[in-house]
Amino acid sequence: MNHSTRYLALLALSLATSCQSKEDKAAAQIADALQTSAESPTEQAKADAWKAATTLPPALTASAVNVQPGVAQMLPEEGYLELISVTSQTPVAAILALPAGLRNAQRGYPKVGPGYRIPFEAVLRWKPMGFGKTKPGVGKLQLPTVRDSLRGFFISEIDRGGKVVPMRPAQPVKVQGVLYAYASPDEGKGTGLLTYPYRGLQISLPLAN
């Protein structure tokens, strides 16, 4: 190899090494910036919130929670449907979409949280109101549907696109449904659940010891 060729080879190697060094330095700077951002209090708070929001709550037995107060919230406020009895099944742990009242309004925070779908079977009774002396013969009990499972139970002559059960005054009717409840933010103590706000108000369901 003559001197000219050797010089050109050394020059090319020097330029390649210089470019590689610059790329490595830029990559290191980006990594440092990302690490610094990740370690900031704001980013750490978001990371903690996401971890808590996407961690399934512990398993519960069917007898661990009394769902009756929650199921009562799924009935009309007017009081024409009476809850005679309710039997719950084993709660199913799930990550649920949070109602607006439980969401963190800050950007980047999760809109989901740990909770349970609690299947139940209830016995309801119709107490007609507002009919005067003329009592209705049969009413149409509208049930929550799979696509609109957050809807409660109510009587309406208008077809709402869901399952309908005929109901006579004072005659008990057995129905099935799912109660949605969230693990309450009690620092992991597991003292209770918060129901979905079926009437615009969440209530607490204490857990059995």
Q: What span, in angstroms and rounded, lies between the C-alpha atoms of 106 and 34?
A: 21
Biggest CA-to-CA distance, the chain: 117
CB neighbourhood size of 142 (10 A):
21
% of the chain beyond a pLDDT of 90: 44
What's the residue count for the chain? Answer: 209
pTM assigned to the model: 0.75
Q: Residue 28 pLDDT more than 90?
A: no
pLDDT of residue 161: 74
Tens digit of each residue's pLDDT (9 = 90 or more) over 74-103 = 999 999 999 999 999 999 999 999 988 778
Half-sphere exposure of 76 (CA within 13 A, CB side): 18
For the chain, the domains span: 3-39, 59-206
Q: Which of 205, 192, 208, 199 is nearest to 73 (CA)?
A: 199
Q: Residue 205 pLDDT more than 80?
A: yes
CA–CA distance from 206 to each of 64, 130, 154, 197 (Å)?
9, 36, 26, 16
